[in-house]
Amino acid sequence: MSPSISILNQPHPPALEPFRVAVPPVVTRLLHHPDYFPIRTWSRIFKSDSGEDGYFASTLASPLTIPHVCTLRRQPELLAPLPDTAPVWPAPNSVSRIENPDLYLVLQLATPGVSGHPSTAHGGLLATCIDEAMSYAVALHAPETGAAGALSAHHPRGMLYTAQLDIRYRAPVAVPGYALVQAKVLARVGRKFWVHAQILQPGEAAEDPLRVTTDAFAFWLQTKAAL
């Protein structure tokens, strides 16, 4: 199956519809950024035959949890070639803003379904969203991972797994509200991938910039078909 028909490569404008109104201006600008286009969010499609993605497509897809998600991927011709040497794992107290992410997840977060502390998103929920964004970013750089050895519309993230996830919680994520997860693959060595992701949240005022609330690094592994 050709990568050109993958769900990760097909623009899906209906994904923008839930974000047409009452969205912070900084989020609206991103949704219409020329370097990105919306695609279907694979994990929001429940696979009834296997139960796959029940967590993100059912448990976290309700008016009280994450009502709406929009996935924005970078234009294919703009994806940067990956270095073939492992990056240095940063110190816990360091933070650098991701430039030109491979992918964004735009999330509408509700309450009380995702709350830990009052009006604050649970850290486990944030880890889930980071992991989802990372999975798509890795898949963009590993088109051979899908069914039958090609990036497939039926299983675009096949054989990709999180091996290590390091999360630094820097500020609370307020709910209800909107949040952006940005993810970028830093390097690839064979079947190994290193990924950086951040959760950003806009301030209350229209002129407030996005702030980094959560910073994460991960090591991903592409397994062999026999696994």
Provide the mean pLDDT of the chain: 87
Q: Is residue 2 included in any domain, yes or no?
A: no
Q: What is the mean pLDDT of residues 39-66?
A: 92
Exposed / middle / buried, residue 23 (Cβ in 10 Å: 0-12, 13-18, 19+): middle
Closest CA to 108 of 50, 53, 167, 41: 41
**Number of domains composing the chain:** 1
Q: What span, in angstroms and rounded, lies between the C-alpha atoms of 69 and 57?
A: 10
Domain extent, residue 63, equals 7-83+97-222
What pLDDT, on the 0 to 100 scale, is given for residue 140? 92
Q: Is residue 92 included in any domain, yes or no?
A: no
Longest dimension (CA), the chain: 52
Reported confidence tier of residue 51, pLDDT bands at 50, 70, 90: confident
Containing 132, the helix (H) or strand (E) segment is: helix 123-140
Q: What's the pTM value of the predicted model, to 2 decimals?
A: 0.89
Q: What span, in angstroms and rounded, lies between the C-alpha atoms of 117 and 62?
A: 20
More reliable by pLDDT, 46 or 122: 122
> Three-state SS for 186?
strand
Q: Is residue 1 included in any domain, yes or no?
A: no
Q: Is residue 199 included in any domain, yes or no?
A: yes
> Three-state SS for 31?
helix
Q: Is residue 212 included in any domain, yes or no?
A: yes
Q: Is residue 88 included in any domain, yes or no?
A: no
Q: Is residue 91 included in any domain, yes or no?
A: no
The first and second tokens of residue 190, run together, are: 């064979």
> Three-state SS for 19?
helix
pLDDT tens column, 84-107: 999 988 877 777 889 999 999 999
pLDDT tens column, 190-221: 989 999 999 999 876 666 678 999 999 999 99
Q: What span, in angstroms and rounded, lies between the C-alpha atoms of 114 and 126?
A: 9
pLDDT tens column, 110-155: 999 999 999 999 999 999 999 999 999 999 998 655 433 334 445 5
| Strand 68-74 to 103-109 pairing | antiparallel
State the CATH number of the domain containing residue 164. Answer: 3.10.129.10
Q: Is residue 90 included in any domain, yes or no?
A: no
Neighbours of 198 (CB within 10 A): 24
What pLDDT, on the 0 to 100 scale, is given for residue 157? 54
Q: Is the pLDDT of residue 184 over 80?
A: yes
